[in-house]
Chains A and B, each alone.
Chain A
Amino acid sequence: MPAVSKGDGMRGLAVFISDIRNCKSKEAEIKRINKELANIRSKFKGDKALDGYSKKKYVCKLLFIFLLGHDIDFGHMEAVNLLSSNKYTEKQIGYLFISVLVNSNSELIRLINNAIKNDLSSRNPTFMCLALHCIANVGSREMAEAFAGEIPRILVAGDTMDSVKQSAALCLLRLYKTSPDLVLMGEWTSRVVHLLNDQHMGVVTAAISLITCLSQKNPDEFKTCVSLAVSRLSRIVSSASTDLQDYTYYFVPAPWLSCKLLRLLQCYPPPEDGAVKGRLVECLETILNKAQEPPKSKKVQHSNAKNAILFEAISLIIHYDSEPNLLVRACNQLGQFLQHRETNLRYLALESMCTLASSEFSHEAVKTHIETVINALKTERDVSVRQRAADLLYAMCDRSNAKQIVAEMLSYLETADYSIREEMVLKVAILAEKYAVDYSWYVDTILNLIRIAGDYVSEEVWYRVIQIVINRDDVQGYAAKTVFEALQAPACHENMVKVGGYILGEFGNLIAGDPRSSPLVQFNLLHSKFHLCSVPTRALLLSAYIKFINLFPETKSTIQEVLRSDSQIRNSDVELQQRAVEYLKLSSIASTDVLATVLEEMPPFPERESSILAKLKKKKGPGAVSVNELEEGKREGGELNGGGERGGDSSTSAVGSTPSPSADLLGLRAGPPVTAAAPSAGSLLVDVFSEAGVNDDGFLRFVCKNNGVLFENQLLQIGIKSEYRQNLGRMYLFYGNKTSVQFVTFTTTLNVQAKPVEPLIEGGAQVQQVINIECLTDFSDAPLLNIKFRYGGALQNLTLKLPVTINKFFQPTEMASHDFFQRWKQLSLPQQEAQKIFKANHAMDTEVLKAKLLGLGMALLENVDPNPENFVCAGVIQTKAQQVGSLLRLEPNAQAQMYRLTVRSSKDTVSKRLCELLAEQF
C-alpha cells in the first residue's frame, strides 16, 4: 500500500474537524456544518471543474458530516468521479464514501459497478483490493448479482497476487453470507479447496474461512478438504516456531490458521482413510504434548495463542468422540486448567468438561475431578464460572455420585446467586428424581429444596413430587410424616404448604395413628397456615379439608364450621367462595358412601415426560449444553431405577384421564390428550419433545382441524387459524417469538399470495400474517411456507408445509340412504375409486372417529350403512374450475385393529389424494 505522503494531508479538513471539536454547543456545531455544506455546495455547483485534491477534500468533509449524524443528499456524483482517478488516495476516499453512503439510486449503482469492474480488470493489485473491499463492505444483492461470477475467477487465477487472493476470498465469503443463492461455486470448488495448499499463509487463512462457511452448506462437495486440512495442520504443528517467520505469533506458529483448520475439521466426521486419520491423531497428540511443555515466553499472548489451539483441538476430539485415549488426555489437560490462576481458562475448562462428561469414554475421567469442581462451586469469585461449575456437576452426575452431588448443590443453594438459583433448583430436582434409588431420599431432598429456596421452586417441581408420591405407594406414609414435620416450622414457604396440603389431604390417614399427628392436630396445623397463603393455595387447602372429612369423619364438624365461616362462604374471591359452598353442601348432604367415592384417593398419574426437564430446556434456550445428551442419560437412568416394577401400572394410565373431582386441582393434565395411547409403559420418563419429523406431523394434524399450533421449537411458535368457505379460504398465521431476543429481518415466502409480515419480532411478542386462499382446481401438494429470520447473529431457515389440503374445500351434503347408494353406484369406474386397508394408529374410539370425520369437512351420514360400526360421508369439493362430488366409507375392524377406507369421487386424483390423507389420520 503506498504510503500517504505529507503533501496529501488535507489542511482544510483538519481545520474543519478541529472547528467542530471546539464547538461549545449543539447549535454551534449545526451552524458550522451548515456553513460548510453551503461552501461545498457552491464548490460543487459545476461551473468550474475541481481538481482531484479538492474533490477528495470535500468528499471527505461530507463523509465526516455524515458520520456526525447529518443527512447528506449530494456529492455522490463527485465521489463516483473519484473512483476513476489514478491516485490511490483519491480512489480510496471515493470507495470509502461509496461504502458508507451508498443508496439504491439505480443510475449511480450502474456507474459504481462500472468503476469497480474497471478496477477489477486492471492489473494494479492495490486497485483490485480496493474494489474488492468496497464490494464486501456494501455487500448488497445488486453487488452480488454483478460480481458473484467474477470474483471466484480472480480467486483461483494463477497470476493473481496473494494479497488480492486474500481479499477475493473474504469478499466472496461476505457475498455468500448475504446472498447464498447467487454465489455458485460448482466448477470452482476443487480449485478453491486446493487453495489450502497455497504457499502464502495469508491466502490459506482467508480461503479456509470461505471453505468452512461453504462446507457447512454442502459438506459433500468439499469433502476433499479434510485430507488437505490435515496435512496442512500437521505441517504447521510439526514446524518449529521459527519456520513460519511472519506467521509466528509469540513463538506459536500460525495460531489463527490452526484454529480455523481445527474448526473446519469439526464440520466433518472422523476421516475414514487410515493414513489421514493417523496423521490427524498424531497432530492432536502433538498439540496436547505441547501444552505440557514449559512456556517459551512469559507473555500472556503466548499462552493465549497456545491455549486457543488447545481448546479447539479438544473440541475436535470431543466432536469425534471415538479416541478414548485422546479423550482421557484432553480431560486430564482440562483438569489442570481447573486450578489455573486465569479465570477465563477455568471457565473454558469447565465448559469443555461439560461436553466431555457426556462422552462414554471420558465420563469416568471427568468424575475424578469432582472435588475440584465442588470446590470451584464454593469458592469461585466469578458468578459465570460458578454457573459453569454447576452445569458440570449436573453433567457428571450419575448413580454413583448422585447423593454427594445433590447434597453439595443443596448446601450451595443456600448461598447461591439469585440469578442462578432457579436453574439450580431445577437441576437438583431433576437429579434427585433421575438417580433416586430410594424414594424417601427423593422426598427428603425435594422438601429440603422447598425449605431452602422456596421462592425459586417453580410449579413443575412440586407438581412432580406429588405425582411421584401418588404413583408410588411405598413412600406415601413417609412423605406424609415428613411434610407434617416440615410444616411444624413456624415460617414455612407457601410451596411447602401446597405440598403439605395436598399430601396430608391424600395420605393423612397413614400417620393418623400416632397421637402426635392425630387428624385434628393435622387439620389445625394446616389451618394455621391458611391465612398467610395466596388464593390458589387456599383453594388447594379447602380441597384438602374436604378430603379430611372423608378420611376422618371425626373432624367433620370442625371443618364444616370453618367452611361455614363468613371468611370462606362469603369470600370475595369467586373460586374460594364456590369451593366453600360446594364442599359444605357436599359434606352435609352426601352419604358417606357417596363421599368416599367422590373423594377417593387420587389415581396414579399417567407417565409422561417430567415437566421439570421441559422447563429446564426452555430456560436454556439455544446453544447451551446439549440437552439431548442429558435426556439420553436420563432415559437410561429412568430404566435403571423405575422400569421393572412400574410395568404393571401401564393399564391404569388411561384412568388418569377420566375426570375425577379434584384431578384438575393441580392443572396437571394439559388439555385432553390428542393421542390417547401415546405414552407407552416402561421407562419412567418419556420424551415427547423429539423434534424429528415435527414439520410433517404438524401438517398431518391439520387435515381434520383448522386451528392449532403448526410448528414449535425453542425459538419460534407458529400458530394457525383458518376458515374456509366454498373455494375460498383465509388463514391467519401467528408467529410467536419464544425467546427474549428480537428476530430481525423476518421474512416469509410462499407460493401463494400473502401479505408481507413485519420484518421484526420482538422478544416474547407475536405477529400475525393473513393469507387468502382460493382453490382453482384440485391439487395434491400442499403449498410450502419458507421462513427466514435472524436470531442473534445466526440466520434461521425453516420450510413448512402449509396445512391446506383438498378436503378443506368440502361442502357437506346430507343425503338419504337411498340417494347415497345410488350415487355410490354411479361412481363405479375403477379409477374413480381409491381404497386402502391399514392398521389403526390410535385407539378405535367411535366418538374420536366421528369428530375426525366431521373435521374433514364432509357430512357424516347416520343410518345409511347397514352396519352401524361403519361410517359413511358425503361432500362436494368446491374449486373454481369445477365441483367434485365425493363419497367416503370407513369400515373399522375392532378385532384386527384395521380399517378399510373407500373413497369414490368424480375425479380420480381427488379420490386418491383423499385416501392418502385420511389413511394417516386413524
Chain B
Amino acid sequence: MIGGLFIYNHKGEVLISRVYRDDIGRNAVDAFRVNVIHARQQVRSPVTNFARTSFFHVKRSNIWLAAVTKQNVNAAMVFEFLYKMCDVMTAYFSKISEENIKNNFVLIYELLDEILDFGYPQNSETGALKTFITQQGIKSQTKEEQSQITSQVTGQIGWRREGIKYRRNELFLDVLESVNLLMSPQGQVLSAHVSGRVVMKSYLSGMPECKFGMNDKIVIDKQGKGGTTDDSGKSGKQSIAIDDCTFHQCVRLSKFDSERSISFIPPDGEYELMRYRTTKDIILPFRVIPLVREVGRTKLEVKVVIKSNFKPSLLAQKIEVRIPTPLNTSGVQVICMKGKAKYKASENAIVWKIKRMAGMKESQISAEIELLPTNDKKKWARPPISMNFEVPFAPSGLKVRYLKVFEPKLNYSDHDVIKWVRYIGRSGIYETRC
C-alpha cells in the first residue's frame, strides 16, 4: 500500500509531505528529489526504485506528485489514485500550480486524510467529498445532515446523496477521444489506437436509474442474433470493437457482465462514466505525406502535404504540424499555402498552424533548411513529423445509441430530461516518419 505522498515544485522543494506508514522515512523525500527531479539525465520511467523504495510519480505542469511505498503494490492502482488525486485537486482549486497548492495546503492535507487511510485509497469522488470537505469552513449542521453524511460515506451509494432536486432535469454527454498514430513515410500504418472517454454532467432530481447504449460490437451482435443473418451483417458494419474498457464505480458491473448493458445511478455533477480503447477500423482524420531531400551537406529540402480525410461538411480545428529540423540548422525559408508557418529555433522545429480546415481537402508546405557543417560524423536521426488537431466526430466510430433515465419515485420520465450529446476527437501522439 502507499506509504507516503509528496508534492514538489519544479525546483524540488517539498510543498506537501504526508507519510502514512512507518516504513517510509524522511529521507525518502530527499531520495526522490536527488534521483529524479535533480537527476543528471531525464528520468523517463514513472516508476523508480531506490534503496528498496518505489516511487511512482506524475507531473502536472511544474508540479511533481510522488507516491512512495516499500511494498509490492499494484502500480496501476497507485497511478489511478494519483490521477484521481489530480482530478480532486482540480475540482477544488482549478489549476494545479505551485501557488494554488501553497494557498490550499490545509485543504490538501484534509483531502489526503480523507482519500487515503493508512495507505489504502478511500472514496475519492469529488461530489461526495465536497459535501463534507469545504473551502468555506464547516457550517453548523443539523443532526439530520450529520447523520446523512455518515450514511453517505459508509453507505452503498457513496457517490450520490439523497434529496437532490432540479427544476430542469438535464444531461450532458461528451465522447472525448484521442487518436494515436505512427505511420511510415510510405503511408503504412505502423501502430494506431484510439483512447476514449465518455464524460457526463448530470443534473437530475432524486435517485434516477440510467441506461446507456452504444454501438459496441458484442451488444449489437447479441441483439442481431434474434434477427436475420443479413441484418446482423449490416449492423456489424456500423458497430465497433472495443478492446478494453473501464467504468466509473457507479456502473453495475454484474449487469454489464451478464447482459452487456451499462446501467447506473449517476453521481451529481461532472464525472467520467467510462474509458475505452479501440485499435481496429480507426478513421484517421489526417494523412501526412512527407518528402525530405538532402541536397549536399549544407542543405535540406522538406515538403509536407496534409490531406483531411472526413466528411466535407465537418471542420477540423487547431491544426498544428511540427516538422523537426536537424540540430545544425543555420537558417530556414518556409513557404505555405494555408495558415502560418514559422521556424522555432528553441524547439528545433518548423511549426505550421492552420486554424480551420474542411474535410477532403489538402494543403502543403515547403521549406529549405540550410545546415552548418559540423565535426560530428553522426547522421541526423530524422525524428517523426507530429501533428495536433481537433475534429467534431469520434475517430473510433463510436456512436451513442440511447441514454435512458428512469426515476420511479419522482414524477418525471425519460422524455422530460433534456439530453445533449457531443463528439470531440483530438490528436494524441500523431506522428509520421520522414
Is A223 at the interface (CB under 8 A from chain B)? no
Can you list, as one digit per residue, whether each of A48-69 has a CB less than 8 Å from chain B (1) or not (0)?
0000000000000000000001
Q: Which range contains the number of B residues in contact with the other chain?
A: 10 to 19
Contact A44 B346 (CB under 8 A): no
Of the residues B10, B331, B373, contact of A24 by C-beta under 8 Å: B10
Q: How far is the CA of A447 from the CA of B424 in the complex (A)?
A: 85
Residues of A within 8 A of B151 (CB): none
Q: How far is the CA of A24 from the CA of B98 in the complex (A)?
A: 12
Is A200 at the interface (CB under 8 A from chain B)? no
Is B431 at the interface (CB under 8 A from chain A)? no
Of the residues B328, B346, B372, B374, contact of A31 by C-beta under 8 Å: B346
Contact B375 A39 (CB under 8 A): no
Is B364 at the interface (CB under 8 A from chain A)? no
Residues of A within 8 A of B330 (CB): 38, 41-42, 44-45
> For chain B, what secondary structure do more than half of its interface residues adopt (helix, strand, loop), or is it mixed?
loop
A24-B62, A41-B330 known; A35 vs B375 contact (CB < 8 Å): no
Contact A73 B346 (CB under 8 A): no
Of the residues B40, B42, B345, contact of A39 by C-beta under 8 Å: B345
Q: How far is the CB of B182 from chain A (nearest CB, A)?
A: 24
Q: How far is the CB of A61 from chain B (nearest CB, A)?
A: 14
Residues of B within 8 A of A35 (CB): 345-346
Residues of B within 8 A of A41 (CB): 328-330, 372
Q: Which of B62, B327, B331, B375 has the most CB of A within 10 A?
A: B375
Q: How far is the CA of A739 from the CA of B379 in the complex (A)?
A: 43
Q: How far is the CB of A78 from chain B (nearest CB, A)?
A: 11
Contact A73 B329 (CB under 8 A): no
Report 5 cross-chain contacts, Cβ distance below 8 Å, ordered by A residue. Answer: A31-B346, A35-B346, A38-B330, A69-B40, A73-B374
Of the residues B40, B331, B346, B373, contact of A42 by C-beta under 8 Å: B331
Contact B375 A31 (CB under 8 A): no
Of the residues B10, B345, B375, contact of A38 by C-beta under 8 Å: B345
Of the residues A31, A39, A76, contact of B347 by C-beta under 8 Å: A31
Contact B375 A25 (CB under 8 A): no
Q: How far is the CA of A108 from the CA of B374 in the complex (A)?
A: 13
Instruction: State which residues 343-358 of B face A: CB under 8 Å.
Output: 345-348
Residues of B within 8 A of A73 (CB): 327-328, 374-376
Residues of A within 8 A of B10 (CB): 24-25
Is B370 at the interface (CB under 8 A from chain A)? yes
Can you list, as one digit per residue, whether each of B17-52 has a CB less than 8 Å from chain A (1) or not (0)?
000000000000000000000001010000000000
Residues of A within 8 A of B346 (CB): 31-32, 34-35, 38
Closest to B298 in A: A45
Is A245 at the interface (CB under 8 A from chain B)? no
Q: How far is the CB of B345 from chain A (nearest CB, A)?
A: 3
> For chain A, what secondary structure do more than half of its interface residues adopt (helix, strand, loop), or is it mixed?
helix
Can you list, as one digit per residue, whether each of A783-817 has a CB less than 8 Å from chain B (1) or not (0)?
00000000000000000000000000000000000
Residues of B within 8 A of A69 (CB): 40
Nearest 9 A-B pairs (CB), nearest first?
A38-B345, A31-B346, A41-B330, A35-B346, A73-B376, A73-B374, A45-B330, A35-B345, A41-B372
Of the residues B40, B331, B370, B372, contact of A74 by C-beta under 8 Å: B372
Q: How far is the CA of A105 from the CA of B42 in the complex (A)?
A: 30
Residues of B within 8 A of A105 (CB): 375
Closest to A24 in B: B10
Contact A34 B376 (CB under 8 A): no
Contact B347 A38 (CB under 8 A): no
Q: How far is the CA of A32 from the CA of B345 in the complex (A)?
A: 9
Residues of A within 8 A of B372 (CB): 41, 44-45, 74
Closest to A42 in B: B330
Is A103 at the interface (CB under 8 A from chain B)? yes
Q: Which of A24, A42, A105, A108 has the most CB of B within 10 A?
A: A42
Q: How far is the CA of A24 from the CA of B327 in the complex (A)?
A: 24
Q: How far is the CA of A106 from the CA of B429 in the complex (A)?
A: 44
Can you list, as one digit per residue, whether each of A93-117 has a CB less than 8 Å from chain B (1) or not (0)?
0000000000101001000000000
Closest to A46 in B: B372
Q: Which of A32, A35, A44, A108 has the most CB of B within 10 A?
A: A35
Residues of A within 8 A of B42 (CB): 26
Closest to B40 in A: A69
Q: How far is the CA of A491 from the CA of B40 in the complex (A)?
A: 52
Q: How far is the CA of A32 from the CA of B348 in the complex (A)?
A: 11
